[in-house]
Amino acid sequence: MKGDPTYWILARSSGFTAYALVTASVLTGLTVKGRPFGKLLRAAGITDLHGFLALLALGAIAAHGLALVADDVVTITYVDLLVPGRVDYRPLWTGAGIVAAELMLLVYASFYLRRWIGVAMWRRLHWSTYVIFGLVTAHGLMSGTDSSRPWAIDAYVVALGLVATATAWRCLAAGGRLPSSRRRVAVERRSSEVA
């Protein structure tokens, strides 16, 4: 039936669900090595929760894309979900969402490839989570049909505030020192340069 809103509602709800899960994954990732609660949080399985939230976010992102393909009001193909800029509707901002999803999949895969790609590359990939979060936020704000509604604006402001606060806390909690694994990478890098 043309004009059935089911898929459109699914696309919107899965998009906001994905945004909430991406935000939660970023926040748990920031607390994994955070001081002063680092040992307590690691004991509570925060690393596993971080990975699980990222996996749920990827699932919600997939549901978002599939619902858009299934919707008969818009014309989006499976190829459009993979190639940024192919969607006619606000191509820059829908493309930002596609790039964010692809980067997130790469970062998630790096959990399982860490042994082969090394800690330094794994860390570099994880720094891209800030880019992912920024792209997802821009995608939602600029291409979301609900973005002008007060509740949606509140959701974006709260998410941005939480990530900014957690980032500042993590930086301040480190006391200007590199976390131990980053110190190891720096020492390894210096050792290899000397050799």
Dump pLDDT digits (tens) for 94-127. Answer: 999 999 999 999 999 998 998 999 989 998 999 9
Between CA 49 and CA 120 the distance in angstroms is: 23
Cα-Cα-Cα-Cα dihedral of 15, 70, 83, 119, to 10°?
50
For residue 131, being part of any structural domain is answered with yes
For residue 105, being part of any structural domain is answered with yes
Count of structural domains within the chain: 1
- Average the pLDDT over 25-47 and give the result: 73
For residue 117, give Cα distances in angstroms to 24, 61, 100, 101.
Answer: 26, 26, 21, 21
Cis ω for the linkage preceding 91 (within 30 of 0): no
For residue 28, being part of any structural domain is answered with yes
- The predicted model scores a pTM of 0.84
The whole domain housing 57 covers 6-194
Angle, CA of 1, 90 and 102, to the nearest 5°: 90
C-alpha atoms less than 13 angstroms from C-alpha of 111 in its C-beta half-sphere: 12
Between CA 108 and CA 123 the distance in angstroms is: 12
SS3 156: helix
For residue 141, being part of any structural domain is answered with yes
The size of the chain, in residues, is 195
- Average the pLDDT over 50-56 and give the result: 94
Which of the pair, 91 or 195, is modelled with greater confidence?
Answer: 91
Per-residue pLDDT, 179:
53
For residue 50, being part of any structural domain is answered with yes
User: What would the two tokens of residue 168 be?
Assistant: 């500042």
For residue 99, being part of any structural domain is answered with yes
For residue 1, being part of any structural domain is answered with no
Per-residue pLDDT, 48:
87
Per-residue pLDDT, 163:
96
User: Do 104 and 18 touch, CB atoms closer than 8 A?
Assistant: no
Per-residue pLDDT, 47:
83
Between CA 81 and CA 69 the distance in angstroms is: 8
For residue 123, being part of any structural domain is answered with yes
Which of the pair, 41 or 161, is modelled with greater confidence?
Answer: 161
User: What would the two tokens of residue 125 be?
Assistant: 């990939």
Angle, CA of 137, 117 and 79, to the nearest 5°: 45
pLDDT-based confidence at residue 171 (cuts at 50, 70, 90): confident
